[in-house]
Structure 1
Amino acid sequence: MGILDTIQQLAGQAGDDSHSDQAKVAGGFIQALTAHPEGIQGVLSALQANGMADHVGSWLNGQAQTATPDQVQQGLGASGLIEKTAEHAGVSPAVVTTALATVLPMVIQHFGQSGQAPAAGGDQSSSMASLAESVLGKFLSK
């Protein structure tokens, strides 16, 4: 089973509407990350360059500092990931920024368990599959 199959299967199991939107956005975001030339490192760089360095630092260290949809828009707006995520998830960019305020800390924490993002050129496919299972699994357990 490929990563996209895993994402679709897990997102489909998410349950109620709010969890379903978050799961769709999480899946869409992971798909967008998979296709993004800079991957998760590009996301971290964009967030840090756009005023969210403190958030990124706390997420990489396992803390759950919250973000607002406006902060997500500010941090990722120029990267194209919000629009790509909306396209993959089949929701509006506004739904994406709202859901990413919850999803983004989980994604960054997943990669930051060692205190840093994975090195560029690493095994992105297995990292993304593991991320999909970890993040989407949290919505299934709620």
Structure 2
Amino acid sequence: MGILDTIQQLAGQTGAAAQGDQAKIAGGFIEALTAHPEGIEGVLNSLKANGLAEHVGAWAAGQAQTATPEQIQQGLGSTGLIEKTAQAAGVSPSAVTSALAMALPMVIQHFAPNGQAAEQSTFGSLAQQVLGKLL
């Protein structure tokens, strides 16, 4: 099962109304991330610098170590991605951190294998696939 199928499955497990929010959050996060000057590399650096280096390593290795919304806030709060995602998705920042706590491990595993960011052009192409599936 690929990341796109997994994201769709997660969205489907939360009910029809929440599925729409999950899709909006996923789209908003991809939009915010592609516009972010440091891209996925900036996310990795922020998470590592803010106490989640062990999580990043586990996620990159495909391990399902969980994160809490509070840890996502701690790891990404200074990047502005949470607020930009919330704005783009039309949801609260707390909804974004909750969704990212579930989805970020898959994003890191897929877009940053071994803790290294994939090329930006690869990310852009995959991001378009994700958006196409969710929207």
- TM normalised by structure 1 equals 0.76
The answer to whether the aligner puts 1:78 opposite 2:74 as a matched pair is: no
The aligned counterpart of 1:16 is: 16
Number of corresponding residues: 124
Counterpart secondary structure, 2:115: coil
| Secondary structure class of the residue paired with 1:50 | helix
Output the CA distance in 2 between the equivalents of 1:106 and 1:136. 18
- State the 4+ residue runs in structure 1 displaced beyond 6 angstroms: none
Q: Which residue of 1 aligns with 2:50?
A: 50
In 2 relative to 1, CA 63–51 (structure 1 residues): closer, same or farther, beyond 3 Å?
A: same
Question: Counterpart amino acid of 2:96?
Answer: V
Deviation at 1:38, TM superposition (A): 0.4
* Structure 1 residues not aligned, in runs of 5+: 1-9
Cα deviation digits, residues 60-107 of structure 1 (max 9, x gap)? 111111111000000001110000011111111111111111111111
Normalising by structure 2, report the TM-score. 0.79
More helix by share: 2
Change (3 A) 1:98 1:39: same
Amino acid at match of 1:88: A
Structure 2 gap segments, 5+ residues each: 1-7
In the alignment, is the contact (CA less than 8 A) between 1:107 and 1:135 conserved in 2?
A: no
Identity of aligned residues (%): 60
Pick closer, same or farther for the CA change 1:136–1:17 going to 2, 3 Å.
farther
Q: How much is the aligned-residue C-alpha RMSD, in angstroms?
A: 2.6
1:63 partnered with 2:59: no
